[in-house]
Amino acid sequence: MTALLEVSNLARTYDVRRGRWPFARLATLHAVDGVSFELPAGRTLGLVGESGCGKTTTAKLVLGLLPASGGEVRVGGEALPAAHSPHWRALRRRMQMVYQDPLGALDRRLSVGRQVMEPLVIHGAGSTAERRDKALAMLDAVGLAQHHFDRFPHELSGGQRQRIVLARALILDPQLLVCDEPISALDVSIQAQVVNLLLALQQKLGLAYLFISHDLRMVRQVSHEVAVMYLGRIVEQGDPDRLFATPAHPYTQALVSAIPTHGRARKRRIVLPGEPPNPVDRPAGCAFHPRCPHAVERCRIETPALRLLADGRRAACHLAEQIA
Supply the DSSP string of 87-101, one letter for each residue: HHHHHHTTEEEE-S-
Shortest distance, position 218 Cβ to another protein, whole Å: 6
Nearer to another protein, 16 or 259 (CB): 259
Burial of 152 by CB count in 10 Å (0-12 exposed, 13-18 middle, 19+ buried)?
Answer: middle
CA dihedral 233, 269, 310, 291 (to 10 degrees): 40
**155 near another protein (CB under 8 A):** no
**195 near another protein (CB under 8 A):** yes
Nearer to another protein, 9 or 246 (CB): 246
Shortest distance, position 183 Cβ to another protein, whole Å: 11
**Region 245-304 residues binding another protein, contact defined as CB under 8 A:** 245, 254-264, 269-272, 275-276
The beta-strand segments (E) located in 85-138 are 95-98
Nearer to another protein, 171 or 244 (CB): 244
Question: Which residues is 75 bridged to in the sheet?
Answer: 5, 78
Query: What distances in angstroms separate CA 225 from CA 164, 228, 242, one per listed residue?
Result: 27, 10, 10
Residue 134: what residue type? K
Shortest distance, position 80 Cβ to another protein, whole Å: 30
Q: Which range binds another protein by CB under 8 A, 25-33, 100-108, 164-172, 237-245?
A: 237-245
Dist. CA 183–CA 189, nearest whole Å: 11
- Which member of 78, 155, 241, 321 binds another protein (CB under 8 A)? 241
Supply the DSSP string of 59-72, one letter for each residue: HHHHHTSS--SEEE
Query: What distances in angstroms separate CA 26 from CA 13, 15, 16, 89, one per listed residue?
Result: 12, 6, 6, 35
Question: Which residues is 307 bridged to in the sheet?
Answer: 315
**151 near another protein (CB under 8 A):** no
- Which member of 1, 26, 124, 189 binds another protein (CB under 8 A)? 189
Shortest distance, position 321 Cβ to another protein, whole Å: 23
**157 near another protein (CB under 8 A):** yes
Shortest distance, position 147 Cβ to another protein, whole Å: 16
- Which member of 123, 220, 224, 294 binds another protein (CB under 8 A)? 220
Dist. CA 321–CA 262, nearest whole Å: 30
Shortest distance, position 279 Cβ to another protein, whole Å: 13
Chain positions contacting another protein, by CB under 8 A: 50-51, 157, 159-160, 187-193, 195-196, 214, 216-218, 220-221, 241, 244-245, 254-264, 269-272, 275-276
